[in-house]
Structure 1
Amino acid sequence: MNTLQNIKAFIQVARLASFSAAARELGVAPSVITKRITSLERQMGEKLFQRSTRGLKLTEAGERILPRYQRLVTELEDIIQNNRSAHKGSNGHLRIKAPTTVTTRYLGRLFCEFQAAHPGVSLEIAVVDRSVNPMDENFDLVIAAAPTSYANVVDIPLTPYQLVLCAAPDYLARKGRPLQPRDLVDHECLTSILLGQSWTFEGPRGPLTVEIHSKLHVNEATVLREATLLGIGVAVLPRFVVETDLKRGRLVSLLEEFPLRRLWLKALVPNVKLHKPLINDLVQFLQSHMQPIPPWERKPHFITNRES
């Protein structure tokens, strides 16, 4: 049986932790996946998966070999793609993951402008609000602001991602205004996937992290903004999402003497893909449109019904 097919089956099963899910992903029967994994294990002379009542997980050998197989498949696909591009000009396909709010407001337009400038390029954009390792899910490039890094993946800064702690005046009238970060443990806090329930502030004596209780947890900033405007609690939001609300007094900035930890919107690129000209072209295009001035400071913000 084809060794490359076996390796691809192994990578999919490891990613999805399921033989049947990997079979659906690859468009084959589960029995085919089982045969491919068995064949690969025979070739390797080691078991790659451990099956138990609690599910499927990689063995120590599987954990060790997975990143090497991922690099191998990526490099092979790049060789084929680059060879095609050499004959057909500036062509290629890129799989991109990007967060919802900043993509629908700003990055989506930039991706489209890039594609318009490169007609031979096809893009597959997954708008997803969760932390993603591009190596695990075969993305060429992941856009993220979360302070998370991965092995064998390079973080390329695009633009500062300023956050603001804020609440509605109605909420502050009921609950009072926090005077220092530790006061937040007594407040109703609204959280997102970006920071979770650990909020880190910069204080005069260094970083100060507060573990807060979440009254509402969402994975998208627009929903979080709506909850904050309704006075449900205190939230950390991207400044570009609430700038107009702050100016019009619908929201109030809090603890300005304790700024939140500085984050960057960044591009996460697997090491094995850094040499791809198309990826470098896209990263340079994004940087040129996001530095030194972020896109949300260059043009009017997206207007919602509440802002009109």
Structure 2
Amino acid sequence: MDTLRAIEAFAHSVELGSLSAAARALGTTQPTISKQVMQLEQQLGVRLLRRNAAGLSATDEGQRFYERARRMLEDYEEAVTDVRAGIQQPRGLLRVSAPVTLGQRHLNAMAIEFLAQYPDIRLELLLDDRFVDPLEERIDVSLRLGGTLPQNLVGRHLATWPRVLVASPAYLTARGQPAAPQQLLEHDYLSYASGGDGVLLQGPDGLVSVPVQSRYRVNNAVALFDSVLNGAGISLQPTWMVAEPLAQGRLVRVLPDHTGPAQKAHLLYAPRRHQPLRVRVLVDFLSERIARLPGADMA
């Protein structure tokens, strides 16, 4: 049995959901794919696939084997390409996870620039505000804002942004500009839904906690930003989000001598002794580009 071809047949079957689809992708027949997968199961002594009327799916053992097999196949493909070309040329599929707002505002444009620079790479950008485990969801690189870093992943620090209080000129004209943190209690304070009540600020006199209670909380950063922009109240926002509207005068700093807890950005990826070249060039590219975003501090 050609073990490498059998593993490739198995991986395609998992990804495409059927033996016939795997056969078409590999330019062979369904009986050939079925035989290769069966021989692989016999060699390993475990059942890798479930076959029933509803379709094809990996068993628990099959899913674990698939995750390692896919990385092995990708490394093999890259090694063959390097040998044939005589030089290292990044190629293949990259799956990247990132928060929705940062992805829409900045990462999407970075992805297009990256693809223009590396024409042999394919990229899937998956925008989701929940924490995505790269190991479980076959993500090559995950961009994470804040939160505790998982110990089973490599976390590369990219940048740190302060959070600043902002409001629209119309809101401040109508309600007045707070002169001290405690005056926030007299204003409409808007916050992210999972953040809870209260705000912690760092100012000339040190840390101060203001027990503001938000009448409006929302679990989407774009909706929160738009609410502030439209005059609904005061909000704490990272500088990468508000640098442009502040420069344009569409937003105004509130309590400019005070900042909230900083927001840190990290790239997360699986710990591997030899990362595929396409992952390495993406990590380097994003590290350089994200550090350029407004207000970023590499310290």
| TM-score, normalised with respect to structure 2 | 0.65
Match of 1:23 in 2: none
1:132 aligns with 2:125: no
| TM-score, normalised with respect to structure 1 | 0.63
**2:92–2:122: 8 Å Cα contact kept in structure 1?**
yes
CA distance in 1, matches of 2:211, 2:107: 31
1:199-254: CA deviations, max 9, x gaps? 44324444747564250414133x33321122211112233433343344432212
More divergent stretch after superposition (119-128 vs 177-186): 177-186
Task: Indicate the SS of the match to 1:250.
Answer: coil
Match of 1:220 in 2: 221
1:147 aligns with 2:140: no
Structure with the greater alpha carbon radius of gyration = 2
CA distance in 2, matches of 1:244, 1:201: 22
- Percent identical pairs in the alignment equals 24
Change (3 A) 1:214 1:124: farther
**2:140–2:269: 8 Å Cα contact kept in structure 1?**
yes
1:95 is matched by which residue type in structure 2?
A: R
1:87-116: CA deviations, max 9, x gaps? 124322111012333333432232222222
Task: Indicate the SS of the match to 1:137.
Answer: coil
Match of 2:73 in 1: 80
Give structure 2 stretches of 5+ with no counterpart: 1-6, 15-49, 83-89
Following superposition, the deviation at residue 79 of structure 1 comes to 1.5
Match of 1:55 in 2: none
Change (3 A) 1:233 1:102: same
Match of 1:92 in 2: 92
Match of 1:235 in 2: 235
**1:140–1:273: 8 Å Cα contact kept in structure 2?**
no
Following superposition, the deviation at residue 287 of structure 1 comes to 2.1
CA distance in 1, matches of 2:253, 2:78: 50
CA distance in 2, matches of 1:207, 1:101: 29
Mapping 1:61-76, distance limit 5 Å: 74-76=67-69
2:220 is matched by which residue type in structure 1?
A: N
Give structure 1 stretches of 5+ with no counterpart: 9-25, 41-68, 299-308
Match of 1:121 in 2: 121
**1:95–1:124: 8 Å Cα contact kept in structure 2?**
yes
Change (3 A) 1:198 1:152: farther
Match of 2:101 in 1: 101
RMSD: 3.9
